[in-house]
Amino acid sequence: MLEKTGLAALAPWLEDTFVDLVAAHEVPGATLAVLAEGRLVTATGGVTSLRTDVEVDADTVFQIGSITKIWTTTLVMQLVDDGLLDLDEPLLDHLPELVIGDMDAAKVLTTRHLLTHTAGFEGDIFTDTGRGDDALERYVATLAELPQLFAPGETFSYNNTAFVVLGRLVEVLRGKPFDEVLLERIAQPLGLSSVSPSPYEAILHRAATGHVADEDGAMTAAPAWALARSNAPAGSMLAMTASDLLGFVRMHLEGGAGPDGTTVLSAGSVKAMQTRQVDLPVLSGMGDAWGLGWELFDTDQGVVIAHDGGTIGQAAFLRVVPEQGVAIALLTNGGDFFGLFNDVVARLLRELTGVVLPERPTPPAAPQQVDTTAFLGRYADTIYEIRVSQDAEGRLWLDRDPKDVLAEIGEKPLRFELVHLSGDSFITAEAHHGIHVVFAFIGRDAAGRAQHVHYGRVVSRAD
């Protein structure tokens, strides 16, 4: 293990350099919180919006995106603690209203499948069902034709839809809207005053606005602040300060106890959430395994639990080393956020804990030439149209065109050259936002053609 540095020694470095690093990576604004040795240190830099030039401070709220899934999982595990739910019982026992495209699959679905992203149905349905308290109920009612890509439990495929269903499960068993349950059962007992489950609460604070690249590549304010309320349990709009995010994490580090000793979550449920449930294939930017809600990274120094999040022009990162009581949260609103993560979060984690995060996959120096015939064709889901082709020189290309809500918020088409990584996995020759994306082709039909492309989400062949 590397020699560690104490938080007291690192705090001056943060104070002196964080603002400069935010600017160097062209991130409009960012906030950082570090929990170590029982102490909390924060740093801020940049502005909440390039339109207003209001400076980010420690009280600025940012959206945490899919880190919300850890909050949703916590609410589900509270149901287990209260004897209202068994993770391995049929989901339909508690949510008979759920009707999806494959009802045979629905009959074997469990809450555990949803929590571990192994439900098998398409996972990026962003239907806007309005701003009312019935948004989740109405969303679930739209899933009657939801495609089943593989049998429940067969493989991992990141699934936002599943977490909306979990949010509805929380509403049914608690008898209240998801937002109210989140505030009453997590934010209020932990004293987290900045937690904002919707824009209506966020507007009461200094709030960061997301930024996206315009036609010339320059950062500009995003066209909307949040995604639809119907996707709130998956991470469409929850916002807070970095300090309050770590206030939530501190509860998980202290066996589920709040600051006054009140039990918010049982120690058994805290442990269960961090326990390995499903292993992942080699993917870009994702962990080696998943627990219940938590993403797990294997390192030579032990397991790091984590989750990242992204909304419209905002990106959030959370890394936690439970055995050492260390947690780091970085919240940003655009720019080269991966570069800032590498220069700040990865360094702090290494110096505070000795933990070195695994390197993201990169292309081989001399990629092997393989027959790609089985992978060529068209793949599609609700949010992307994907075409895999080979040019006259034998190079493999993947074109990805956004659809639905992603097109509406301005995401641009991308074209990747792919080179062979291993087996049926390929990797982008060039980095995108600092990451080489891995695409794995899985499943074969009778003719030997790949049936799905997997980049964290499974997308089915459509030609």
Whether residues 190 and 50 fall in one domain: yes
Residues designated catalytic:
66
- pLDDT given for residue 281 in this prediction: 84
Give the pair of three-digit tokens for residue 364: 């081989």
365 within a domain of the structure (yes/no): no
- pLDDT given for residue 330 in this prediction: 98
Q: At which of 308, 338, 360 does a domain end?
A: 360
Q: Kindly tell me if the per-residue pLDDT of 251 is higher than 70.
A: yes
Whether residues 449 and 349 fall in one domain: no
Whether residues 137 and 190 fall in one domain: yes
Per residue in 128-176, pLDDT (tens digit) is 999 999 999 999 999 999 999 999 999 999 999 999 999 999 999 999 9
Whether residues 269 and 394 fall in one domain: no
Give residue 385's domain range: 373-461
- pLDDT given for residue 309 in this prediction: 97
Report the phi/psi class of residue 377: left, alpha or beta, with left for phi > 0 and alpha for psi in -120 to 50: left
Whether residues 393 and 330 fall in one domain: no
Q: Give CA–CA dist 165/157, Å, rounded.
A: 16
Whether residues 220 and 100 fall in one domain: yes
Of 254, 276, 234, 250, the C-alpha closest to 191 is: 250
3-state SS class at 404: helix
Whether residues 452 and 325 fall in one domain: no
- pLDDT given for residue 3 in this prediction: 58
3-state SS class at 417: strand
Per residue in 183-194, pLDDT (tens digit) is 999 999 999 999
Whether residues 250 and 352 fall in one domain: yes
Q: Give CA–CA dist 104/212, Å, rounded.
A: 42
- Segment 114-126 shows an average pLDDT of 96
pLDDT tier at 1, thresholds 50, 70, 90? very low
Which percentage of the chain shows pLDDT scores above 70? Answer: 99
Give the pair of three-digit tokens for residue 139: 């969303």
Per the document, the length of the chain is 463
Per residue in 343-388, pLDDT (tens digit) is 999 999 999 999 999 888 999 999 999 999 999 999 999 899 999 9
Q: Kindly tell me if the per-residue pLDDT of 337 is higher than 60.
A: yes
- pLDDT given for residue 320 in this prediction: 98
Whether residues 432 and 296 fall in one domain: no
Q: Kindly tell me if the per-residue pLDDT of 428 is higher than 80.
A: yes
Residue 289 pairs in a beta bridge with: 279, 296
pLDDT tier at 409, thresholds 50, 70, 90? confident
- Segment 390-403 shows an average pLDDT of 95
What CATH number is associated with residue 426? Answer: 2.40.128
Does the model's pTM come out above 0.75? yes
Cβ proximity of 242 and 33 under 8 Å? yes
175 within a domain of the structure (yes/no): yes
Whether residues 12 and 82 fall in one domain: yes
Give the pair of three-digit tokens for residue 198: 């919707």
Could you write out the DSSP letters of every residue in 76-139? HHHHHHTTS--TTSBGGGT-TT---S-HHHHHH-BHHHHHTT-S-B---------SSTTHHHHH
276 within a domain of the structure (yes/no): yes
Average pLDDT of the residues of the chain: 95
355 within a domain of the structure (yes/no): yes
368 within a domain of the structure (yes/no): no
Give the rounded distance of the alpha carbon of 437 from its chain centre. 16
3-state SS class at 66: helix
- pLDDT given for residue 359 in this prediction: 85
- Segment 421-447 shows an average pLDDT of 92
Place of tokens 């909304």: 311
328 within a domain of the structure (yes/no): yes
Report how many domains make up the chain: 2
Whether residues 16 and 155 fall in one domain: yes
- pLDDT given for residue 406 in this prediction: 82
390 within a domain of the structure (yes/no): yes
List Cβ neighbours of 46 (8 Å cut-off, separation of 6 or more). 19, 22, 23, 27, 28, 29, 30, 55, 56, 333
Q: At which of 299, 333, 360 does a domain end?
A: 360
33 within a domain of the structure (yes/no): yes
Q: At which of 360, 390, 416 does a domain end?
A: 360
- Segment 274-296 shows an average pLDDT of 92
Which percentage of the chain shows pLDDT scores above 90? Answer: 88
Whether residues 386 and 345 fall in one domain: no
What CATH number is associated with residue 210? Answer: 3.40.710.10
- pLDDT given for residue 434 in this prediction: 80
Q: Kindly tell me if the per-residue pLDDT of 331 is higher than 80.
A: yes
